[in-house]
Every structure is written in C-alpha cells, then in structure tokens.
Amino acid sequence: MKIYTRTGDKGSTGLVGGSRVEKDDIRVECYGTFDEVNATLGLLRSKLEHDHSWQEGLKKIQITLMSVMSHLGTPSGAEKPVKAALPLDGAAWCEGWIDELEKETGTSRCFLLPGGTEIASLCHIIRTQVRRGERRLVSLMKEDEVHSSIPEYVNRLSDLFFALARAEMFLADVEEEKWRSFIFKTE
C-alpha cells in the first residue's frame, strides 16, 4: 500500500468506520493535536539516554496516545467500532508517577517559568500541547460522545508533564524560576 492516496487532495479525510469529514473538522483537530503531542514525545525520548528511567513510561504514553487517537478518530455511530484499548487506568497511572516524582521534588506551590534545561523545556512544551488537545477534546465532546477515561487521562497527562519538568530541574540541580504563588489573597 502506498503512503499517498490522493483522497484528501480536496480538503477531506477519512475517519475510522469509513465516513469522510473536512480536514478542519473538530475531530481531526482533536486527534491531530494528540499526534503532535506524540511526535514531541518522540523528540523528548530521543534526547534521553536509552536506559533513562523515564523511557518505559514515556513509551507507554505514546502507545496509549495511539489508542486514544483511534477512539477520537471514530465517530460514535461508526459501523466498525475501534478495537484499541481505552486508558481505563490512565489517570490513576499518571497520578502514581506524579506522586513518585513529588517524593523527590516536593509539591510546587508556585507558577513556574518554563525552561531551565532542554529536557524540562520539552516537558513544558508537551504539557502545553496536551492542554491544547484537552481544549479541542472539550469541543469534540460537545458534538459527540467520548469515553470518560479519555478526558480524565488527558487532564492528568498535562499534570504529569509539569511534574516531569520539575523532576528534570531537580535532577539537573537547576533552580526553578518562580513567577507567583498559587495562593491568592481575596479581599
């Protein structure tokens, strides 16, 4: 099978199940954003040593995102349901990794300026891409059903990449640049 099909030359694309939509359809925007996340994750993994302690977890996230994108690319009324696994334990898995990271770094009580090291910066880029994907996901959920495990997983995933950025800064012995405390005084 060739990589090119020419079927999208006029601005439409096929979904799982055979239906076609415009390439700027919210469903395509949504799974396309998570495709960007996955590609940036690949860049992050390539910057880490092959035996880095994060490699296994990051690969698991990439595999899970492929399944999530399969679900997001399948309209609820599709004749052929998607067979990819749902991230049923995904949110809890992210929380477990966050808790493990915060045993070393402690919890953050401040907004932080992204940066510090290349790895921490990539984690922040992924965090913001996931947040954009989450916004697109909310828009999609207004139009079609999405299994509850997907938005739960996506929400925790951005938190995880914040925690990973902080862990990288801690391991690199680079001070976090704080912007403002989370606690705001109200009058």
DSSP readout, 17-65? TS-EEETTSHHHHHHHHHHHHHHHHHHHHHHS-TT-TTHHHHHHHHHHH
Bridge partner residues of 14 (DSSP): 20
Is the domain spanning 12-181 CATH 1.20.1200.10? The answer is: yes
User: Any idea which residue has 């405390």 for tokens?
Assistant: 181
- Please give the backbone phi and psi of residue 21, each rounded to the nearest 5 degrees, phi first: -140, 165
Residue 155: both structure tokens together: 């929400």
Question: Using CB atoms within 10 A of its CB, is residue 122 exposed (0-12), middle (13-18) or buried (19+)?
Answer: buried
How many Å apart are CA 6 and CA 95, to the nearest integer? 43
Name the residue ranges covered by the structural domains of the chain.
Answer: 12-181
* Alpha carbon separation from 109 to 104, 112, 165, 181, 184 (Å, rounded): 15, 9, 15, 6, 11
Bridge partner residues of 181 (DSSP): 110
How many Å apart are CA 67 and CA 85, to the nearest integer? 6
Instruction: Give me the pLDDT at residue 150, please.
Output: 97
* pLDDT in 10s for each residue of the chain, 187 residues: 777 777 666 676 666 766 766 567 888 899 999 999 999 999 999 999 999 999 999 999 999 999 999 999 988 888 777 888 898 999 999 999 999 999 998 787 777 767 889 999 999 999 999 999 999 999 999 999 999 999 999 999 999 999 999 999 889 888 876 776 655 555 5
Instruction: Give me the pLDDT at residue 12, please.
Output: 66
Kindly report the pTM of this predicted structure: 0.86
Instruction: Give me the pLDDT at residue 19, please.
Output: 72
- Please give the backbone phi and psi of residue 132, each rounded to the nearest 5 degrees, phi first: -65, -45
**Number of separate helices (H) and strands (E) present in the chain:** 5, 4
